[in-house]
Structure 1
């Protein structure tokens, strides 16, 4: 009989489960204590039905390996990958991650769009994280508000569960497309290989939603997305008159249908960061009144100053002394 997950259970003779803090279709997230390093971590435990599939466990292990290479302030740190074999032979597969404290951007957006200055800051930090991943040849493939955590030290990009290498096939063996339809780049519907530009499109959708409270092409299924892309009007930010034009331009360029027309994640980060930093305060001259010093007796300073030499070079004159009176 498979051992159930419960508070107090020890996985891999190291990770003590404390309490469940999240769940999804593919995994359950637990808070746990690493008893070797004496720290609290997050354990992403794969659903039993998926952990039974060696191919799927391999995908999760590759996710952990890829994410562990990424050391960046706006990427969630991955510490370990582990598997335990239960008495009945079943396998528990899990990824050990940095435990974060904060709020998902998805939940934050239920209250409406962000102030444009905050939206730009979030977009710049996500773009920075993506640029770091792209430099290592990794495409995230699922940039959505549900995978962005707002923390006290800035945003953190989560879940590299469907990340892959640049140039890898974008579909699984059954021809299925990964991702969240409303955030998926148009070319992915045609099975184009994974490229950094697909992440940039998703970033453009996320930024558009953070600014306006809505995605450019609402869709819950691939069919709805195809229909929205075919008939929907092009996205616009014209209803945000206070938004700096360069911010609107970089967002809309990220949403270009042609991947070649999109900027890189690094270019997006640079453009947004230019409008997210506080302006330098104007300098001012401050006049401080001073009290006059009490009068003192003048001091006499004597300096020896050489007199100019006469026109005849063969005759040398003795130096003359000059006396100057300088108040102390």
Structure 2
């Protein structure tokens, strides 16, 4: 690429690698002045959301790992350049080569180096598995080696791929079939033990220079992983230690239960491979032996015709108690052994396979031998269906890929020839493959009314789910305040989206207390504690209520009110004064006491914030003499008069409490 700079800092230099869905470039970080590797999603995949998701998954998976044996991820992004959309991942640049290149040049390797490299790969897998990440594509091509023989595992982006842009995806995935586990070949659930199997294949190749299973095509290799016995690596490399041979064989167990259960377990054995105790067991009667390669003998009428050389076959094993293969029966493998092996792998079509293969070797009419009966392909993945097609002698071709609620992604949901019908050998069966459930993006329902939200969901082929209510200080009453799934999530068509509808701001309900008989000061404090406002305070004489106690309130006790409700009070002045009878006061000598000088108490009155329409405010002053309280002033003041000062001459030692509009302001002392 000519002078492309991503994000204003990553200048692409030269291409250093290419994979199934991406190209890798050496680049320079113009900000940090260092070399980096930039992986670009291939242009044919930029319109495919599945590939974009997988590409992003790689960045997320690797970025969540911080391990010396995992390639570091520095940045991820998307950029429009020259009307092209470029999805990229910026990662650590490794100055080295792939482990595949090292194997081709240097395998078989000695025990020490094999263990050293394998242990580093296992450490990387341990870190990934601890973060619940399954690599799924461990192979030498995805492992980088620097000059110090240090391992860096890369390519965390493999996932199920089946989209309209990649009808021939199966061949690209099966390109790494040499390293897949039996459960991967069957399309079944995979976990950490699948990665460990793949690591076992890599170790086998390190120790011997060969992969454990090979064949004429991807389907044959997949079958070998599933059903062929493993040739111990020590048979190919006699210098291999017993301990390391045992580790590799255990990693390549076909059953996950007898394989290494964790990277930790494998690492323990690798550390102790020289002294690893291997339990010796008595060889059973059916101890395995190798079946020699058997060449087909041409029919008598074909003896004189030149025959093309037969392609090499995979080496496999059989049990020792099987009868020897007679020289005069050279077609025994083709007619008997192979169909038996295939029946162990094929599901739902094995009987037809055996019958078809056996029929082809009998003296039946030519038209009958070329006819094959089609097994059911429904519900099978393409790799599984290709195995059936290979065994039965017909060809599979994808006619269409469609969404399906019933079939999982990658499964066949329709075939052009019904099961049980016959076609000529070599003819094509068209199949429709499921893209899985059709997905749609959840719309933003926040701030919409319930009716509008429901209409929006119908537009996007979604349904309204459960709707609840809740209080909110942000969302208006009657509008959606929460949704699940959230806006922007990708969900199957028809998914129900639940919402929470706002009831508006939550209002606290207050039960009005009975303030009667309380002192005015006590009543004011009670109202303030309840977040209620004191309104007009009037005074009246009363023969029932003591002086300075509340005798009436504007809201009856027990009434439920809102916060900040204004409450008016009427405070008793005590009984009304009466005229005393006119009597001559007794003549007494005045008591000689020392005169006490009064002092001045200065009380500044500052008007409070003026509410709309208000012209005055209420000033209330209470005289406090020890435990005695006396209401000495309770009257309105005009805002127009501004700040005022009240001066009171009284004896020393008193205090005066100032209240404005029922709210305590300050205490004044001399």
Q: Indicate which of 66, 69, 72 corresponds to 2:64.
A: 69
Judging by fraction of residues, say which structure has more strand.
2
CA distance in 1 between counterparts of 2:82 and 2:117 reads 46
Superimposed CA distance per residue, residues 21-73 of structure 1 (whole angstroms, 9 cap, x where no aligned partner): 22334222111122233321000111111123232112111110110011111
Map of 1:150 onto structure 2: 145
CA spacing shift, 1:259–1:125, aligned 2, 3 Å: same
TM-score (norm 2): 0.37
Map of 1:317 onto structure 2: none
Pairing 1:71-220 to 2, within 5 Å after superposition: 71-88=66-83, 90-111=84-105, 112-153=107-148, 154-162=150-158, 171-173=160-162, 178=173, 180-219=176-215
CA distance in 2 between counterparts of 1:22 and 1:220 reads 27
CA distance in 1 between counterparts of 2:20 and 2:188 reads 26
What displacement does 1:260 show? 1.4
CA distance in 2 between counterparts of 1:181 and 1:219 reads 10
Unaligned runs of 5+ residues in structure 2 are 275-670
- Structure 1 contact 145–206 (Cα < 8 Å) conserved: yes
Map of 1:269 onto structure 2: 267
CA distance in 2 between counterparts of 1:25 and 1:270 reads 35
The residue matched to 1:21 in structure 2 has which SS?
Answer: strand
Judging by fraction of residues, say which structure has more helix.
1
TM-score (norm 1): 0.74
Map of 2:224 onto structure 1: 228
CA distance in 2 between counterparts of 1:87 and 1:230 reads 48
Q: Indicate which of 55, 59, 73 corresponds to 1:60.
A: 55
CA distance in 1 between counterparts of 2:23 and 2:52 reads 15
RMSD: 2.3
Unaligned runs of 5+ residues in structure 1 are 165-170, 277-328
Matched, 1:40 2:38: no
Pairing 1:273-288 to 2, within 5 Å after superposition: 273-275=271-273
- Structure 2 contact 111–241 (Cα < 8 Å) conserved: no
- Structure 2 contact 226–254 (Cα < 8 Å) conserved: no
Map of 2:329 onto structure 1: none
Q: Indicate which of 255, 258, 282 corresponds to 2:255.
A: 258
Superimposed CA distance per residue, residues 268-307 of structure 1 (whole angstroms, 9 cap, x where no aligned partner): 122113348xxxxxxxxxxxxxxxxxxxxxxxxxxxxxxx
What displacement does 1:190 show? 2.1
Matched, 1:249 2:243: no
Superimposed CA distance per residue, residues 97-144 of structure 1 (whole angstroms, 9 cap, x where no aligned partner): 100011211111113311221111111111111111011001111111
Q: Which has the higher contact order (CA 8 A, sep 6+)?
A: 1
Superimposed CA distance per residue, residues 1-25 of structure 1 (whole angstroms, 9 cap, x where no aligned partner): xxxx32x221122211122222334
- Structure 2 contact 183–190 (Cα < 8 Å) conserved: no
The residue matched to 1:110 in structure 2 has which SS?
Answer: helix
The residue matched to 2:114 in structure 1 has which SS?
Answer: helix
CA spacing shift, 1:217–1:58, aligned 2, 3 Å: same
CA spacing shift, 1:221–1:75, aligned 2, 3 Å: farther
Which sits farther off after the overlay, 264-273 or 71-80? 264-273
